[in-house]
Structure 1
Amino acid sequence: MEYPALILKRGEDARLRAGHLWVFSNEVDVAKSPLSAFTPGEICVICDSQQHPIGIGYINPNSLICARLIVRGIEHAVDRSLLVHRLRVALGLRERLYSEPYYRLFYGESDGLPGLVLDRYGDVIVGQTTTAGTERLKDDIAAAVLKVIKPAAMVWKNDSGARTMESLPDYSEIAFGEITHPVIAREGGLDFQIDPIDGQKTGWFYDQRANRDQLAPFVAGKRVLDMFSYLGGWGLRAAAMGASEVVCVDASASAVEAITRNAAANGLSDRVTARKADAFEELKRLREQRERFDVIILDPPAFVKRKKDFAEGRLAYRRINEMAMQLLAKDGILVTCSCSYHMSRTTLLEAVQQGARHLDRQVQVLMQLQQAPDHPVHPAIVETDYLKGFICRVLPA
């Protein structure tokens, strides 16, 4: 096991020793270990300034995060047996959490392999590699999945924005096997047909499952508006929990078609309507029509994808929440979420409160929301704690 050494500057090992897994390019002693000497995805030994090994990771000399730690110490090689072990440990957690094989199977840094995401849809696995290191290991990863899970098929859905930062191309392909039937995400007793090749992300958003589980006491017998609905996860589950009427809105025509299809497949067509519209324009139109809803769900894509987008994104969160509150019936419920890491929980709540005060409304926070436990948070890496939200009661002042 001979790997080249990546040597850090003096003192730059402290964060790694405290549990973090990332090395930034400005932390490397390029006089002793020039980044230009490495190839993207290459396995290396990460060393402190005294050249004492910290552990083994992989490197991308072209990225701001130039290396990621995989193994502490140098006793274990980064090979297929290590991947099998990490996958079995990850599977053990999911099998404790869920009675059926529908979940995020592997969540990057939190499960011990930075840059790898695996979602499980019964006998189909959809994976995503977001770093040069995992891209280089993808055949070994697929072999480990086949050994541990034995699925009928595995798909690589490699089209995330994170790949751009690693100078990786976008593509989707079948890693092994064949898909002979519609791929289903099962949640809350409902089946949602997903598209593992052309859908968003890996096809489904398991991170909101535990939050959707909380809807029941708020939606029974109520009129519900589900904005940014995608495949209808929030809206269809609200309908199944007894909502009298659900309106799902998404800007994608294919998503609206999928919502209609999923509603029919689950026997919910009589209560669910899907509309293609821009969220902000639809909220404005509904206000002009004097429509009212008992429950409004806001689960938008990230408005703050980069730190420099923060001011504009914060304004967008305030605006969308204020517009939604204008449509709420008296004593209404607002479910509001953000998947923007750069938008803190405190700042999201401030956006809600500012919108409420502008409308002379009072907000009571009933529940705080976070990502489901199949997306575990790494305590040393705050970026793994990205999803936040609130279930709020909105009252006249």
Structure 2
Amino acid sequence: MEYPALYLKRGEDARLRAGHLWVYSNEVDVARSPLTAFEPGEACAIVDHRGKPVGIGYVNPNSLIAARLVSRGVEHALDRSLIVHRLNVALALRERLYAEPYYRLVFGESDGLPGLVLDRFGDVVVGQIATAGMERLKDEITAAVVKVLKPRQLWWKNDASIRTMEHLPEYADLGHGEYGGETIAREGGLEFAIDPVSGQKTGWFYDQRENRDLLARFVDGKRVLDMFSYLGAWGLRAAAAGASEVVCVDASAAAVESIARNAERNGLADRVTAVRADAFDHLKALREAREQYDVVILDPPAFIKRKKDFTEGRLAYRRLNELGMQVLARDGLLVTCSCSHHMPRAALLEAVQQGVRHLDRQAQMLIALQQAPDHPVHPAIAETDYLKGYVLRVLPA
């Protein structure tokens, strides 16, 4: 099948040939291939200024990222067959990593399907589409998922704010299967009931799974404070690993109710308390009440969503970590994370260190944290390496 050509300016193919998958609008030779000639999400052949094909991708003339490369060369059509192949390749990795079918199955560009995320919860799959190109392929993606996985349900959770940048509507609906039945995330021997429609993102955050695995060695017999708890993944894992008391804090009433239900479900209700509160306000109140915890976990949402927000966001990370350390017992452990792509690892550690010195304490960095391997990093695309964190021991000066 032949696709219309999207011509690049001279030299603008170098980044693509080095492994990247994005074409920015100012890299397109609009004299030869006007962006306005393409429909949002239309498949195209991306070619260099000499007319030599780079590969097959899709276009969105309304977006700063004007095109995304899906397949190198022009031998393979952008169709259901290609998607089935990419799903099978992605599945092979996850089945090597995990004994049970609970994981991120597709992580966008890193799995060769830019703009698509699929999370698997046993016989339920929850998908998110972020680009017009993948939206046009939604029926083919659905058919491919059904062929490869045969799920009971496939939910589309297409309500992420990034869709507005692609001029796409926000919605959530059932793409395959029938309504009814629970959706469960299994992790660390525990079960968490999730909501694939009303929950955050796809309903669960698999990217922190391996980091939560590391927690077990530090929490036996300890008091643990889990801030920004969502469904209680960190806190309940800590309780299951032997923590004597766990307090989970989240600003959402629905999340707090879910934490309580999940604690009951896993037989941990006697050691887990769920509190609805703003994280910063609650930490200040705990400080004033002279409450202290052996382990404090800070896993906030992204404070820096755009590059221009860096200065303000970095200050927020510093304030949060400083407050967290003020409720740490002597020789306590701080687990701090950032999912902001625009917050470099070194900047997060520097923000913690600034807080440490302001409190006249000292810290030892024990473990550097990163996203789980079912969220593989694409070496040529820095944006895929977004999660960072540290386990630190905080001592008196």
Q: TM-score range by the shorter chain?
A: over 0.9
Q: CA deviation at 1:182?
A: 1.1
Does residue 260 (structure 1) correspond to residue 260 (structure 2)? The answer is: yes
Write the deviation string for residues 206-241 of structure 1: whole angstroms up to 9, x where unpaired: 000000000011111000000000000000000000
In the alignment, which residue of structure 2 is the partner of 1:347? 347
Write the deviation string for residues 75-117 of structure 1: whole angstroms up to 9, x where unpaired: 1111111000000000000001001110001100000010000
Conserved in 2, the CA contact under 8 Å of 1:153 and 1:176?
yes
In the alignment, which residue of structure 2 is the partner of 1:171? 171
The letter of the residue matching 2:180 is T
Q: CA deviation at 1:180?
A: 2.7
Paired with 1:102 and 1:113, the residues of 2 have a C-alpha distance of 20
Conserved in 2, the CA contact under 8 Å of 1:296 and 1:324?
yes
In the alignment, which residue of structure 2 is the partner of 1:78? 78
Paired with 2:48 and 2:87, the residues of 1 have a C-alpha distance of 29
In the alignment, which residue of structure 2 is the partner of 1:125? 125
TM-score (norm 2): 1.00
The letter of the residue matching 2:388 is K
Paired with 2:81 and 2:4, the residues of 1 have a C-alpha distance of 21
Q: CA deviation at 1:178?
A: 1.7
The letter of the residue matching 1:230 is Y
Paired with 1:245 and 1:137, the residues of 2 have a C-alpha distance of 48
Q: CA deviation at 1:138?
A: 0.6
Secondary structure at the aligned position of 1:168 is classed as: coil
Paired with 1:179 and 1:191, the residues of 2 have a C-alpha distance of 21
Q: CA deviation at 1:162?
A: 1.4
Write the deviation string for residues 314-342 of structure 1: whole angstroms up to 9, x where unpaired: 00000000000010000000000000000
Secondary structure at the aligned position of 2:56 is classed as: strand
In the alignment, which residue of structure 2 is the partner of 1:68? 68
**RMSD value, Cα:** 0.5
In the alignment, which residue of structure 1 is the partner of 2:32? 32
The letter of the residue matching 1:67 is A
Paired with 1:37 and 1:338, the residues of 2 have a C-alpha distance of 40
In the alignment, which residue of structure 1 is the partner of 2:162? 162
In the alignment, which residue of structure 1 is the partner of 2:296? 296
Write the deviation string for residues 258-278 of structure 1: whole angstroms up to 9, x where unpaired: 000000000000000000000
Q: CA deviation at 1:362?
A: 0.5
In the alignment, which residue of structure 2 is the partner of 1:9? 9
Q: CA deviation at 1:179?
A: 3.9
Paired with 2:350 and 2:296, the residues of 1 have a C-alpha distance of 18
Write the deviation string for residues 138-163 of structure 1: whole angstroms up to 9, x where unpaired: 11000000000000110000011211
Q: How does 1:330-341 map to 2 (within 5 A)?
A: 330-341=330-341
Q: How does 1:130-169 map to 2 (within 5 A)?
A: 130-169=130-169
Paired with 2:88 and 2:263, the residues of 1 have a C-alpha distance of 35
Paired with 1:217 and 1:89, the residues of 2 have a C-alpha distance of 34
The letter of the residue matching 2:304 is V
Unaligned stretches of 5+ residues in structure 1: none
Conserved in 2, the CA contact under 8 Å of 1:253 and 1:276?
yes
The letter of the residue matching 1:216 is A
In the alignment, which residue of structure 1 is the partner of 2:370? 370
Q: Which runs of 4+ in 1 moved over 2 A?
A: none
Unaligned stretches of 5+ residues in structure 2: none
Paired with 2:161 and 2:180, the residues of 1 have a C-alpha distance of 29
In the alignment, which residue of structure 2 is the partner of 1:106? 106
Secondary structure at the aligned position of 2:316 is classed as: helix
The letter of the residue matching 1:383 is E
Across the two proteins, how many residue pairs are aligned to each other?
397
In the alignment, which residue of structure 1 is the partner of 2:281? 281
Paired with 1:255 and 1:78, the residues of 2 have a C-alpha distance of 39
Write the deviation string for residues 274-310 of structure 1: whole angstroms up to 9, x where unpaired: 0000000000000010000000000000000001111
Q: CA deviation at 1:164?
A: 1.2
The letter of the residue matching 1:142 is T
Paired with 1:195 and 1:113, the residues of 2 have a C-alpha distance of 25
In the alignment, which residue of structure 2 is the partner of 1:208? 208
Does residue 90 (structure 1) correspond to residue 90 (structure 2)? The answer is: yes
Secondary structure at the aligned position of 1:334 is classed as: strand
In the alignment, which residue of structure 2 is the partner of 1:313? 313
